[in-house]
Amino acid sequence: MAKAQDRIREIVARFETVCGDYLAYVADWKARTGRKALGVLPMNFPVELVQASGALPVVIQEDEDPITDGRNLIYEYYCAYSKSITDQAAKRKLDIFDSILAVDHCVALLGAFDAMRYAAPQRPVYLAQFPASMDEASSVVQVDKRLQELRVEIERITGAVIDDDALRAAIRLRNQDRQAIRQLMDMRSSGRIWLAAREMQAIVQSSMIMDTAEHLDLLSELKSLLVDCDPPSGNRVKLHLSGHFCHAPRPELYDMFEACGIAIIDDDLYTGYRFVSTDVAEEGDAMAALRDWYFNRNVKAPCSTRAQKTVDWESFLLDKLDESGAEGVIILMAKFCEPHMLYYPELRKAFHAHSVPYLLIETEHEGLALEMLRTRVESLVETIKRRRTVQVA
């Protein structure tokens, strides 16, 4: 058992190290393989196309450096992620990437994309803009066209022809990695295993950065070791985490939640369930499968940056709470995230209508007031514990 625990810590530490300095991993991978790395932006990029070309697709991450050089390139009222990636570009940190690509965006990400292009005009930057309206008759045709254009652009950047067989192989491998992560999430949610919230995030976030085969090998080993480990005892309050469409919440937030007696049993974060929610069909035309993945993804995990009449985020969240048994919700809203801000009143109305305890926490790039937040989190925990007592009585 001790050896298993040691190996678990080693694997998780590897994932955390990759997340802590993702550009160092990219530099090392390029040096080891002699191949190219392409930076991609959230939220729905079909990374399989890049992978099939032999290059490494990497979702560009927020870093912890203060915003300095990039401050004059982007509005102050843009979100932390947009400002961080602009600052990384201005400091030439992103020069490790042979190109930067995107397929969809909010207004802030579009501004950041232009700022990144301005900061390094010699680097190829390409936007294959997918339609945000999912219900239009023309949307499917537009996505098909953008995907074909993106395929041509990736082939031009990498100098490789994307073979259909290679694309199908990339799809299969990515699906296996997504499925392995979802299995861990299910095991954790059911109480069969214990992973700290920061550890679960590191597993998902590192899959956005690492070579998929390497990530899957470590993940498969981790899953086999965790089966034999007992979760810690304790009457923790079970909560769902929601929000953060583009970037990872700070790990110290998770630590604070758990120190308050919370177990995060489910989420719809980008660096959580949202990223791995949907597989790509492995049969039939691979490009059509990537197109369908874009539309299916918004059904599996609705996003307020997309417009679709047949799905809504509040109903999705209420269903998730029923499925998981979560007793409440913590909403993590990146400051100045306009799509989230505009949708939040609908969430609040739904929570009030169904008597769901919730807490809104606004996050920023710098200046996270943990002790002040702790008081609010403890209040939510006490509210839920009092509800338990009333229900038992």
Flag whether 360 is in a domain: no
Provide the pairing of β-strand 56-59 with 237-243: unpaired
- What single-letter DSSP state applies at residue 137? T
Mean pLDDT across 219-234? 78
- Of 66-75, 324-333, 364-373, least confident by mean pLDDT is 364-373
Flag whether 33 is in a domain: yes
Containing structural domain, residue 84: 25-158
| Residues 157-177: tens digit of each pLDDT | 999 999 999 999 999 999 999
Total count of domains within the chain:
1
Q: Is the pLDDT of residue 125 over 80?
A: yes
Residues 23-48 as b/e (b if ≥16 CB within 10 A, e otherwise) read: bebbeebbeeeeebbbbbbbbbbbbb
Flag whether 199 is in a domain: no
pLDDT at residue 1, rounded to an integer? 66
Are 105 and 41 spatial neighbours (Cβ–Cβ below 8 Å)?
A: yes
pLDDT at residue 358, rounded to an integer? 97
Flag whether 206 is in a domain: no
Domain at 136, CATH number: 3.40.50.11890
Flag whether 129 is in a domain: yes
Q: Is the pLDDT of residue 108 over 90?
A: no
Flag whether 53 is in a domain: yes
Please, what is the average pLDDT of the chain?
Answer: 93
Mean pLDDT across 221-249? 85
pLDDT at residue 228, rounded to an integer? 61
Which of helix, strand or coil describes residue 135? coil
Instruction: Supply 362's token pair.
Output: 């606004």
Per the DSSP assignment, residues forming a β-bridge with 38 are 57, 99
Which of helix, strand or coil describes residue 163? coil
| Residues 151-161: tens digit of each pLDDT | 999 999 999 99
CB atoms within 10 A of CB 367: 5
pLDDT at residue 273, rounded to an integer? 97
Flag whether 307 is in a domain: no
- Of 12-16, 28-32, 119-123, least confident by mean pLDDT is 119-123
Triad 116, 120, 121: Cα angle to 5° = 105
Flag whether 248 is in a domain: no
pLDDT at residue 389, rounded to an integer? 79
Q: What percent of the chain has pLDDT over 70?
A: 97
Which of helix, strand or coil describes residue 328? strand
Q: Is the pLDDT of residue 3 over 60?
A: yes
